[in-house]
Structure 1
Amino acid sequence: MCGIFGFHARARLSLDAELDAATDLLAHRGPDGRGTFAARSPDGEWQVGLGHRRLSILDIEGSPQPMHAHDGRYTIVYNGEIYNYIELRAELAERGHRFATQGDTEVLIEAWRAWGEDCLPRFNGMFAFLLWDNRTGRLIAARDPFGKKPLFVARAEGAHVFASEIEPLRKFPGVDDRLDQDSLREYLSYRYVPGPATFFRGIAKVPPGTFLALDGDTVSQTRYFTTPFSRTTPDIDDFDEALRLFSDRLDAAVQLRLRSDAPFGAYLSGGLDSSMIVALMSRHMDKPVSTFSVGFDVPGSSELPYAKQVADAFGTDHHELAVGMNEFTSVWEEAVLRRGAPVAEPSDLPVLLLSKMASRSVKMVLTGEGADELLGGYPKHRAEPWVALYQRLVPGVLHDTVIAPGARALPYALRRVKTVAGVAGIRGHQARMAAWFGGGDAELAEALYAGTPASRELDPLPFAADGAASALKRMLHFDQTSWLPDNLLERGDRMMMAGSIEGRMPFMDVGLAELVARFPDAFLTGAPKGKRVLRTLAARMLPEAIVKRRKVGFRVPVEQWFRTGMADQTRDLLQSGDATVRQVCNAGEIDRLMSEHLGGRHNHEKLLWALANLEQFFRIFRPATG
C-alpha cells in the first residue's frame, strides 16, 4: 500500500525536480520508504520518471520500490496488494521465472513478463501500477477491476503524468487545473463527480478495470474487466447451495486478506457487514483480532455499543474513538485536501480520525465496504424492481404535479418514503440513478446550478447494462461502476491512507462478485432488510441482536451540528461575501436552504454538507473558474 507518481514525456523536458517534489507530496501514503527512477527510451526521444512512497505490509525489508526485474528489463512502482501472490509465484516458478524477494511486487513484474496484459484478470487484489519496459520504451498504467486503488492521469505539453492523488498532478508544469464546469454540475446532482472526470479540466481518473499503454506518441486504453452483474444469467436456484458457496467464498476472501507481515486489525461499526468480517477473521487467527470503532458524543448518534457487543462476542482487542464536533471539524480541510475534491459524505472525517488512531498499533485493517453494493442492502435496491410497475400505473403528469411535490413536503423523519416517492416516477434510468443517492432531485440541482448547460455526456458504462438479468442487477452494476469507485471506495482509500493505514475489503472480491451475479434476485433482496444470503449466514455466526437490528448506516450528526456549534462556520462558508460557491451556484437558493435548515423547518443536511464542502474545496485548491 503506497503512493505512486510517474510521467512519460518528451526527452527535451527537464523534469528531475518535478519527480522529487511530486513523490514527496505522497509521503502520507508511504511513510516507510521513498525511491525514484528516471530513464530514457531506447531511441532517446522519450523519458520516464517514476516515484514511490512505501507503506510496508509484505516483505517489509526485501521489496523496496521502484523495483527492477532481475534482468533489468522492467521497472515498476506499484500501490496495492496482490493477495494471491503466493499461488502466482509458485506457478511462475514452475515456468522458470526467478525471484529474489518474498513480496508481491516482483510477482507482478514476472506475471507481466509471462502473460502480458492477460495477467491482470489473474490478480486477486487491489492495485494501481506503472510498469516501464526498458527494452521497448513502453509504459503501462493499470488499475484494479473495482477501482479500489486510485490512479489519476493528466496531459501536459509533451507529457502524460500519473499519480495516486490529484495534488502532485496540479504541481506539474502545464497541467490544466482550471475548474471543470461540467463536473460542478454533476456534483450538485450526484454529490460526487462521476468518473473519469474530476473537478479539474486537465486531470482524469484512469477507469477501474482498465490499462493504458504509452509507446512514443501512441496512447491506447483497454478495459479488461466489466462487472459480472451486467453480463451474467443467474443459474443457481437452490438457496442452500447458494448459501454454501457464498459462505465458502467469503471465508476464503477474508482468509486471503489476512496475508501480512505487518500488524493488522479490523474496522468494526457494529453493523452486519463489518461484524461478519470480524467473525470470519476470528476463525483464522490464533490471537484476538484488533478491532477499531468510531462513534459520536451526541446521544442517539453512536453505534459504539453495538460494536462493543460484537467485540465482546468474539473476544477482540477492542479500541473505541468517540468524536465530538470539534474533533470532527479539525480534520475537515485535511480530508478535502486528500480527497482532491469536496468530501461527499460526512463519514469521511471520522474514518480519517479513526485511521490516525489505528495507525498507532496496526498498519492494515479489513473492512465491510462494498457489501450493500454487492448484495442489495439499501432500500433503493428493494424499490427499483417496482419502478417499472409504478410507472405503468401512475401517469407521468400525476407523479410530477402531485406525488413528487407531496414527497418533497414530507418531514425528514420520513426521508426514505420521501426518496422512494420522489424518485420512482423519474423515467430516465440515468437521472434516476443519480436521484437515489443525490441530495435532492434534478429540479433542485438545476435550481442551484448557475453555470452554462453541460457540454459533455457522462461515461456510458455505469448506465449500459443491457445484459443484466433484472432491474436490480442493472442498479448493482451502476453502484459497482460509479457509486463505489467514484465515492465510497475513494473514501476508503483517501481517508485511510491519510492516516497511513491500508484497508482491505473482502466483499469487493471479484470471485465473490462473479458468484453472487449467478444468484436470483430473491437471494439478495428477498428479505425485509435485504442481503438475504448474508443475513442467513450471519444468523449462524453473530449475536441475534446484531442480525435483527435495523440498518441505520454510518450517520454523522451534522443535522444538529449545523444548527448549533457549526452554524457560524457554515454561514461563513456559504453566506460570506467572498464565498466562491455563491458565484458558481444560485446564492438565493443557498440562502433558502440555510434559512429552512437553521430555522428547523426542513432538514437539508445533505445539500448543505455538499455545498459547504464545495466552498472548502474552492478555498483549499483555488481553481480558476473562468
Structure 2
Amino acid sequence: MHEIRKDSAPGVWLASLGEGPGKEAVRLGRKGEELHPRVIAGLGRKLSLYSAGDSPSCAGNEGGTRGALFDGLLYNRVELSLQLFGSRSSAASNADVVLEGYGRWGQEILERIRGVFALIIWDDDRDTLLCARDAVGFYPLFYAEVGHEIFFSTSIDALLAHPDVPDKVSLPIAANYLRHIYPSIEETFFAKIKRVPSGNFMNITRGTRQVKRYWDPFPSGAGVEWVGEDEVARFDFLMNQAVTRCLDLGPAGIFLSGGLDSVTVAAVAAERSRDRGMPDPLGLSLLFPHPECNEETTQKAVAKALGLQHVMVSVDEAAGPLGLILGAIRMSSTWPTPLQSVWNPLYYRLALDGKRRGCRVILTGGGGDEWLTVDPLYAADLFREMNFPGLLRLLNSFQRSYQLSLPSLVRNVLWNNGVMPLLSEAWAGSPFREPLREWMWKHLPETMRRRRLRHEQRSKAIIPSWVIPSGALCLEADRHAERNREPELAAGRKEGGFYLRMARRFIDHPLLTIEMEESFETSLRTGVPLHMPFWDRDLIDLLYRIPPDSLNKGGRSKGLVREMLARRFPDLGFERQKKVFSLNFFTSRTSRESRSAWKAIGGAPTLGGLGIIDSGLFESILFGNGADRKTQDAQWTWDVLNLEMWLRGKLSGKNEEVPVDFPRKDFRKKFSCKTS
C-alpha cells in the first residue's frame, strides 16, 4: 500500500530575522491561535518562528549558528538524504536535508533540489540570509523589512498579523489594477510587503542584496537546443513522474473539465493510482449551462471510461444563493489580494466536496495551455525566415484547434503576431529613427505635436474615462506604470526570436505569480493542496525545447496528448476537439448580475473616495445612461466590483466578509500613495 506523506497540506507560519525573538504574540490561521516565537538559529541575529503546526520543517546545526526553514514538498529527499547522511538518512527531515546540503554545496543546493517549496536559510557565521521559492512558484514567499528586522511567510495575512508590519495598501498599484497595468514581479498590493519571485533566490550577505534566478529554462542570450524525436518520447515518462509526485500526498481528486489537459491528468492519475494500490481518483466537475462551454457529455464519458466516481455540481449550485458575482466579490474581501478568477469560489466549493470525500490532493490541468501550445508570435519568426510553408502549417493548426473564423485568424496570427512585430523591430533598431525624429521636431513641430496628441488620445481611449479621472493619484499611478513598463518584444534579437522572448516574458510576468499564489491560498483555506502536473519543473525543461511543429503534431495544437487520448477514448473525438471558452458565459452572467451586486454593496464609495474611479460616472454607464461603451465590457465591471470589496476588506482589518457600511471617514489612513 502507498504511504501518505504527513506534510500533505501547507500550513500558516511567520518567521523573523532580527536581534532577538520579539516579545509580541501573534494570532495566526483561521483559528487565530496566540503564538510566541521560538529561536531556530543564530547567536547574533536570530531566525525565529511562529507556528502552531508541523509547517514549516525546521533544522539547526549543533552550534546554533546555522538554521533552515523548509515549507513544502521535497521530491528527491530520499536520494539527497542518502547522499548527505548515508545510513542516518531515514531520520532526516526536509529542513535537515536542505541545511546539510547548504553546508556542503552552498547556494548550489537550489539547483539540486526538486519540489515545491519556500525555504529560508540563516548562516550567522557568514552573516548570510538565503531565501528561495520553487521553480514555478507553487509556494509563495513574502517578506517585510521593518527597521532592522525582516519578517517572512508564505501568507500575506500571517505577515499582517504581526503588529510591527504596516498594513497600508499601495494606492498606485490598486489604481493601476483597474488599468490592467501590473506591478513589478517583487511588489504586492501592500506598500511594505514584497515577494521573492518564483524560481529566484534572495541572498543578503553583510547588507548586500542579490535577487536572481537559479532556474531558468530560457537563459538570456542563449539559443534553444531543440530536442529530437527520441527526446520528445520522454514526455510520457515525465508526465507520469509529475502526476506520481502529486499522488505521493494521498488519494486524489481531479478537476475534470472535459478539455485535453484535465483529461490527460485524469487518465494518468487513474493508471498510476491503481499501479500503486491507491484508491481511484475522484472526478470533480463544474457544469456550465451555456451551450458554448457545456462539456457535460464529455465529462461523464471520460469518468465512465476511466471507472471513476464522479461528482458534478452546476455553476448555480456552487455559487449558492448570492450568485456568481456577489459571491465572488464577498470572498475577495477576505483574501490577501483581489481575486483573479471569478470562478475561484466555485472551485473552492468543489475542492471542499473532494476533501469531504477523502481527497488529500486535487490535481488540475493548469499549465497545459501554456506549455503544450505554440504562441502565435512564432509567426514573426517564420516570416523572418521566409518560411511560408511553416506559416501555412501554423495558421492551419490554429484553424483546426480553435473556434475562430478564418479572417480573424489571418488578422491575429499573420498580421498582429507576424508582420507587425517585425515592422516594430525594424523601426526600433533603425539608425535613422532618432535623427528623423529630431529633424521632424525641428522643421515640422506642429505635425509632431498633432501626431503625439493622436497617440495619447488613442492610448487614453483604451482606458475608460471613469478610471483615475485626475489628480495626484493619477500622476503617481502614471509614474509607477512608467517605472515598471515592460520592454518591447521588438527590442533586439538577442533573446532567440519572438517565440522565445514571449516565453521569457511569460514566466516572469506578475500575473502568473499572482495566479499561482491564489491557488496556494485556496490550498491553505480548504486544507487540501491543489497541484498542476503540467507545471512540473522537469516536464517544463523538456516542453520548452520541443520544436513548435512537434507540439502541433498532427496539425493541431497539443498534439503531444491528442494521440494518446484518441487511443484511450476512441469514441470521444479528442483527435479533433477544439478549445472551449467560457468568455460569452462570463459576459452574459456578469451583465445579468452586476447591477444587483452594485446595489447590494451600495456602490463603490471606497474607490470613489480614494479617487480611483469616478463612481457617479461609472454608475451612470453601468445602468445604461452613459455613452462610454468600455464599461459594457464584463471584465471592467468585474474588476470594479472586485476591487471595491477587496479594499473594504482591508479597511475592516478583519479576515472576514465585510458589511456594506464601509468606508469609514478616516479610511485614507489605511492607504499609501507611495509604492515603497
Whether the TM-score (by the shorter chain) exceeds 0.5 is yes
Tell me, yes or no, if the aligned pair for 2:225 and 2:545 is still in contact at 8 Å.
yes
Aligned to 1:170: 160
Q: For residues 213 and 118 of structure 1, what CA distance do their matches in structure 2 show?
A: 12
Q: 5+ unaligned residues in a row in structure 1: which ranges?
A: 55-62, 393-411, 430-439
CA distance in 2, matches of 1:91, 1:40: 24
CA contact (8 A) 1:382 1:525 kept: no
Equivalent in the alignment of 2:365 = 368
SS in 1 for 2:233: helix
Distance in 2, matches of 1:481 and 1:462, equals 14
C-alpha change, 1:595 and 1:530, in structure 2 (3 Å) is farther
CA drift of 1:625 comes to 4.9
| Among candidates 254, 261, 266, match of residue 254 of structure 2 | 266
1:382 matches 2:391: no
Identify the residue that residue 398 of structure 2 maps to in structure 1: none
Q: Kindly state the Cα deviation for residue 273 of structure 1 after the two structures are TM-superposed.
A: 0.7
How far off is 1:587 after superposition? Answer: 4.3
Sequence identity (%)? 20
CA contact (8 A) 1:140 1:214 kept: yes
Choose which of 427, 435, 458 in structure 1 pairs with 2:484.
458
2:269 matched residue in structure 1 = 281
Cα distance, 1:272 vs structure 2: 0.7
C-alpha change, 1:70 and 1:156, in structure 2 (3 Å) is closer
Cross-structure match for 2:451: none
Cα contact 2:61–2:67 (8 A) shared by 1: no
1:271-312 per-residue CA deviation (whole Å, 9 max, x = no partner) reads 111111111122222242222222345665543443222211
Aligned partner of 2:241 in structure 1 is 252
Name the CA shift for 1:214/1:37 in 2 (closer, same or farther; >3 Å): farther
1:151 offset after TM fit, Å?
0.9
Q: Give the alignment partner of residue 315 of structure 1, picking from 307, 319, 322.
A: 307
Asked if the contact 1:574/1:590 (under 8 Å) is kept, the reply is no
- Deviates most, 203-212 or 552-561: 552-561
Provide the aligned length of Structure 1 versus Structure 2: 571
RMSD: 4.1
Aligned to 1:398: none
Native 8 Å contact 1:132 1:140 kept in 2: yes
Query: Which residue in the other structure is 2:71 paired with?
Result: 79
Deviations 1:445-468 (A, max 9, x none): 374344112245228699799654
How far the C-alpha of 1:117 sits from its partner, in A, is 1.6
Report the Cα offset of residue 52 of structure 1.
3.5
Q: Aligned to 1:3, which of 12, 18, 31?
A: 12
Pick aligned residue for 1:621 from 650, 654, 660: 650
Secondary structure in structure 1 of the residue aligned to 2:312 = strand
Tell me which structure has the larger Cα radius of gyration. Answer: 2
Letter in 1 for 2:595: A
Quote the residue 1:352 is aligned against: 348
User: Cα deviation per residue 1:166-197 (whole Å; 9 max; x = unaligned)?
Assistant: 22323434444433244235423437545211
Q: Give the whole-Å Cα distance in 1 for the aligned partners of 2:329 and 2:487.
A: 32
8 Å contact 2:198–2:513 — kept in the other structure?
Answer: no
Give the deviation of 1:118 after TM superposition.
Answer: 0.9
- Match of residue 564 from structure 1: 592
Please, which of 634, 637, 641 is the counterpart of residue 605 of structure 1? 634
What residue number does 2:499 align with?
472
Q: Which is worse superposed, 149-158 or 456-465?
A: 456-465
Q: Which residue of 1 aligns with 2:524?
A: 497
- After TM superposition, the score normalised by the length of structure 1 is 0.78
What is the TM-score normalised by the length of structure 2? Answer: 0.73
The alpha-carbon deviation at position 499 of structure 1 amounts to: 1.1
Q: Secondary structure at the match of 1:150?
A: coil
2:59 aligns with: 68
Cα distance 1:290–1:169, how it changes in 2: closer, same or farther (>3 A)?
same
SS at match of 1:539: helix
1:531 to 542, 555, 558: 558
1:549 aligns with 2:577: yes
What are the superposed Cα offsets for residues 85-119 of structure 1, whole Å, 9 maximum, x if unpaired?
2222233234x765425x54443333333322211
Q: Per-residue deviation at 1:207?
A: 1.0
Q: Is the 8 A contact 1:97 1:110 kept in 2?
A: no
Deviations 1:40-66 (A, max 9, x none): 7323xx333213365xxxxxxxx6655
Q: Distance between the aligned counterparts of 2:410 and 2:349, measured in 1? A: 32
Deviation at 1:143, TM superposition (A): 0.8
Q: Is the 8 A contact 2:326 2:597 kept in 1?
A: no
Q: CA 1:138–1:309 in structure 2 vs 1: closer, same or farther (change >3 Å)?
A: same
After TM superposition, the structure 1 stretch with the greater mean CA deviation from structure 2, 606-615 or 485-494, is 485-494
Q: Tell me if structure 2 keeps the 8 A contact 1:154–1:203.
A: yes
Query: What is the distance in 2 between the residues matched to 1:40 and 1:85?
Result: 22
After superposing the two structures, state which structure 1 stretch, 141-150 or 557-566, moved more: 557-566
| CA distance in 2 between partners of 1:336 and 1:203 (Å) | 19
The code of the aligned residue for 1:9 comes to: G
**1:89 counterpart residue number:** 81
Give the Cα–Cα distance (whole angstroms) in 1 for the partners of residues 464 and 616 of structure 2: 13
1:124-139 equivalence runs, <5 A: 124-133=114-123, 138-139=128-129
2:581 maps to 1:585: no
